[in-house]
Amino acid sequence: MKGKILDDFRIQASLPVIRFLKMNGAIIVVAAHRGRPHGKIIPGLSMRKVALKLAEKSRMKLHFVDIPPSPTLTGLVKTYYKPSTLLFLENIRFWKGEERNSRVFVKNLASLGEVYVNDAFGDCHREHASIVGIPRFLPSFAGLELRQEVKMLGRLHRNVSRPFIFIMGGGKVASKISLLAYALTMADHVLVGGALANSLLHAKGLAIGKSYVEEEALTLVQKIELTSSKLHLPLDVIVAKSPQGRMKVRPVGKIFSKERIYDVGPDTIKLFSRVIREAKTIVWNGPLGLIEIPSFCKATDEIARAVAAQRCLGIIGGGETVARVRKLGLERKVTFLSAGGGAMVEFLVKRTLPGLEALSRANAKFKVQNSK
């Protein structure tokens, strides 16, 4: 159903800091987003249902605000609302100033509060107003979930228990090439599926039919050591002429010109599972098939069960992958589920994020001011 909340993982993750602020009598102003409306009001991307769910979970009275931040709104907040109330702003990306990090928009946002708390690790790689702008004007802090994300992912930058297994899949291939290079440097084995595998197979000169590849990624893939003994690509795949077409298992390289790859095959699942059974540390980002369609969930589900069965440090990130793990009821059998997809990728590669740097600068700035 359009607008239906299919997985409330990120809402659940925000509850500890919301409850802490409520307990301490704060007026809580929540800024969040859905999708990419690019500064336009799109009713199907409204945050209203998310706001209602958060109010229900936190047991707070909701005030949903569907106008942009402005001096008028600031005046209402400061004179009308009482402590321990929840104000939820409409999709912050409905206003062009958010993605442009407009100074006027930032000042209007910042004027709604006295303290800023960033608990959105999944957006910390964005240089947007609500992430890097507000800390220029307010005392700023990392939320409880954000701290946990940095703590858990930071463990991977130190000595990890080996064998260290990295599993990669999903789309947005171009943005994941740097993570793949990192994984091949840091991990003992890298297991690849999804659209990322399509691009790598294509780069090796293997037939992939009409399978999805990102043209931008093809040039970047040339930088990857495709012959590395650490890199494990699919041995076989599930193909069809369309998502609704008849499915067949094909050995890699034997795919017909009109067929498309939609999942990895049974021999690949066995190979990946065998490697996973030796793991002491596992990091997974991105599904192995087109899991939006139930017929192509098998590999992702089987690998999720294999990861959950392994008693080791297991970190899974990316919205689709996390949602699937939760749907299978395996979340308690994995060490940590990260709310970040792109942010997880960038943090692992660069060891920092624009949102984290903004908090650090703000912390230093207001410490100096308070010491005068």
Give 88-132 pLDDT, tens digit per residue.
999 999 999 999 999 999 999 999 999 999 999 999 999 999 999
358, 333: one domain: no
Report CA dihedral (335, 337, 340, 344) to the nearest 10 degrees: 20
CATH of the domain at 358: 3.40.50.1260
* CA-based end-to-end distance of the chain: 56
Residue 229's pLDDT is 95
Residue 323's pLDDT is 93
107, 234: one domain: no
128, 174: one domain: no
Instruction: Give Cα 360 to chain centroid, integer Å.
Output: 22
203, 119: one domain: no
What distance in Å separates the CA atoms of residue 349 and residue 181, rounded to the nearest whole number?
A: 9
254, 235: one domain: yes
137, 248: one domain: no
Q: Can you give the pTM of this predicted structure? A: 0.90
159, 241: one domain: yes
Residue from 272, 174, 152 nearest 218 by CA: 174
| Burial of residue 101, with CB atoms counted within 10 A of its CB: 0-12 exposed, 13-18 middle, 19 or more buried | middle
Model pLDDT for residues 49-69, shown as the tens digit of each residue: 999 999 999 999 999 999 999
Which helix (H) or strand (E) is 222 found in, with range? none
Question: 173 is in which domain, residue-wise?
Answer: 152-350
Query: Is 2 among the domain residues?
Result: no
- The mean predicted confidence, pLDDT, of the chain is 93
What distance in Å separates the CA atoms of residue 268 and residue 271, rounded to the nearest whole number?
A: 5
50, 194: one domain: no
Model pLDDT for residues 197-206, shown as the tens digit of each residue: 999 999 999 9
362, 337: one domain: no
110, 205: one domain: no
- Under the banding of pLDDT at 50, 70 and 90, the label for residue 3 is low
Query: Is 4 among the domain residues?
Result: no
Count how many domains the chain has.
2
Model pLDDT for residues 129-173, shown as the tens digit of each residue: 999 999 999 999 999 999 999 999 999 988 899 999 999 998 888
Work out the number of other CB atoms within 10 angstroms of the CB of residue 277.
11
Query: Is 261 among the domain residues?
Result: yes
Question: Where do the H-state alpha helices sit in 156-207?
Answer: 173-186, 194-203
297, 356: one domain: no
- Under the banding of pLDDT at 50, 70 and 90, the label for residue 319 is confident
346, 356: one domain: no
